[in-house]
Amino acid sequence: MVQAWIYNEEDQSDQREAHHLTPDEPVPLPVLRSLGVLYWRIDPSGCAEDPHKGRLGDIRKQRHYKNHDIITVSPDKLPNYEEKIRSFFEEHLHEDEEIRFVLEGTGYFDVRSDRNQRWIRIAVESGDMVVLPAGLYHRFTLDTKNYIVAMRLFQDAPKWEAINRGDKAESTDARKQYLEFNTKVTAEEDAAKQVTSKKVESVNGESFTLQSGARSLANYPHMRAYGGLLYISGISSRRADNTHRGAEKQADGSFKLDAAEQTAAVLDNISVILGRVGASLRDLLDITVFLVDMSDYAAINDVYNSYFPNPAEGPTRTTVAVKQLPHPNLRIEMKCVARDPRGSK
Ligand SMILES: [Fe+2]
């Protein structure tokens, strides 16, 4: 499973060393997602021979990754090895996504957070598929094992043009679009932090109603605490202003609905609600997922798995398709129960 952490820039050792901070500062997958980095775990066996098989094939189809090649980076396979890996380690961006599926070996992708300019190091190993968005500054290095075999995927003809950090990179459309995306995500994160809630105690426990986030549309709280458990109402991707994440208005007035983005939004909203009592997604015990169309199942699972990478620690889950949700733009809603880290109330 992919591991990520803040890169220690003070550590002057070889780029192939892990460069952890002391103490280590791990970076969870949702943070990578908020930078636009996507991650999947896929069984790599047989993928080199049949590069359209199973899960890999599904993702390729979904994301229009028509072409690919396979590269081996190791001292005996790559001429001028030391020089080459130093050049991969130059901070750069691309005008297209960088898509890598690791078939064998290990390595590190470093991505630059535009929020605080820190490097986040992502360790990849066999079976990890990582997508870096166009316009995000990054770099790559092998680790001390000096060996990786990776499938590079492309939407169009294979090309690899790196634009090093500087004026040229800043003036690309890819960079401008990425910064626009980043500003939006940062604003969402800031808004989430400022959410306040009203707590009321009654015979059936404590109720929590968000005051500055999306309001309930009838007389129910967002969350109720009782007997050491937290019960959370059905949550959608609705924002405080009643628009929805994952439902973007098009020039013709119609809405482009994105079930994957809505899934991330729902989980982020649940996370904000749980935060009222100091709980997090890790405290979830059970989730019921409501979809209006089961054809979204694979797409929502990809996002879901990035929030809950380890089934042994994740909540139980049931997914059902329903005829409708309360707003036509909604593709998904979730209802859940969590443990209350404060104990029995
Ligand atoms: Fe790159």
Answer yes or no: is pLDDT of 308 > 90: no
β strands within the chain, DSSP E = 3-6, 38-41, 67-73, 92-93, 98-112, 119-125, 128-132, 138-142, 148-154, 163-164, 197-202, 205-210, 223-226, 229-235, 247-249, 255-257, 284-291, 316-321, 332-339
Which is it for strands 98-112 and 197-202: parallel, antiparallel or unpaired?
unpaired
| Rounded mean pLDDT, 132-148 | 96
Least confident of 89-93, 180-184, 284-288, 307-311: 307-311
- Ligand 1 centroid from CA 94, angstroms: 6
pLDDT-derived band of residue 334, with 50, 70 and 90 as boundaries? very high
Judge whether residue 126 has pLDDT over 80: yes
- At 117 the three-state DSSP class reads coil
Q: Are 3 and 26 in contact (CB under 8 A)?
A: yes
Please tell me if the domain spanning 3-182 has the same topology as the one spanning 194-339. no
Distance 214 CA to ligand 1 centre (A): 38
CA of 96 to the centre of ligand 1 (A): 10
| CATH class, 3-182 region | mainly beta
Q: How far is the CA of 136 from the centre of ligand 1 (A)?
A: 9
pLDDT digits (tens, 9 = 90+) for 27-46: 877 788 889 998 888 889 99
Pick from 126-130, 246-250, 341-345: least confident:
341-345
pLDDT band at 55 (very low <50, low <70, confident <90, very high): confident
Find the 341 Cα to ligand 1 centroid distance in Å.
42
Mean pLDDT check: name the lowest of 72-76, 121-125, 194-198: 194-198
Residue 345 has pLDDT above 70, yes or no: no
Which range, of 51-65, 110-124, 130-144, 182-196, averages the lowest pLDDT? 182-196
Alpha carbon distance 38, 62 (integer Å): 14
If you measure from the C-alpha of residue 89 to the centroid of ligand 1, how many angstroms do you get, rounded to a whole number?
9
pLDDT tens, position by position, 152-211: 999 987 777 899 999 999 999 999 999 999 888 888 778 777 788 899 999 999 999 987
The answer on pLDDT for 213 being more than 70 is: no
pLDDT over 70 (residue 57): yes
**The whole model's pTM is what?**
0.76
- State residue 257's pLDDT score: 95
**Mean pLDDT to the nearest integer, 103-127:** 94
What proportion of the chain, given as a percentage, has pLDDT over 90? 69
What's the 195 CA to ligand 1 centre distance in angstroms? 37
Rounded to the nearest angstrom, the gap between the alpha carbon of residue 85 and the centroid of all alpha carbons in its chain is 27
Ligand 1 centroid – CA 125 distance (Å): 17
Burial degree of 254 (CB within 10 A; 0-12, 13-18, 19+): exposed
CA 314 / ligand 1 centre spacing (Å): 33
CA of 257 to the centre of ligand 1 (A): 30
The residues whose Cβ lies within 5 A of ligand 1, an ion, are 98
The alpha carbon of 340 and the centre of ligand 1 are apart by a number of angstroms equal to: 43
Tens of pLDDT along 87-102? Answer: 899 999 999 999 999 9
Q: Ligand 1 centroid vs 25 CA: distance in angstroms?
A: 24
According to CATH, what is the number of the domain 194-339? Answer: 3.30.1330.40
Q: How far is the CA of 285 from the centre of ligand 1 (A)?
A: 39
How far, in Å, is the centroid of ligand 1 from the Cα of 187? 27
Mean pLDDT of all residues belonging to the chain: 91
Å from CA of 107 to ligand 1 middle: 13
- Higher per-residue pLDDT: 268 or 110: 110
Using the mean position of ligand 1's atoms as its centre, give its distance from the Cα of residue 93 in Å: 6
Q: How far is the CA of 49 from the centre of ligand 1 (A)?
A: 25
- C-alpha of residue 91 to centroid of ligand 1, in Å: 8
The pLDDT of 3-19, averaged and rounded, is: 95
The angle subtended at Cα 144 by Cα 86 and Cα 93, nearest 5°, is: 35
At position 38, the amino acid (one-letter code) is L
Q: β-strand 284-291 against 316-321: which pairing, if any?
A: parallel
Q: Phi and psi at residue 159, in whole multiples of 5°? A: -150, 155
- Report CA(139)–ligand 1 centroid distance (Å): 6
For residue 134, how far is its CA from the centre of ligand 1 (angstroms)?
9
Express as a percent the part of the chain with pLDDT over 70: 99
In angstroms, the CA 20 to CA 321 distance is 44
Separation of CA 95 and ligand 1 centre (Å): 10
- The CA 60 to ligand 1 mean position distance, Å, reads 19
Locate the domains of the chain by residue range.
Answer: 3-182, 194-339
Question: How far does the centroid of ligand 1 lie from the alpha carbon of residue 178, in Å?
Answer: 15
Question: How far apart are the CA of 97 and the centre of ligand 1, in A?
Answer: 9
The residue type of 146 is: N
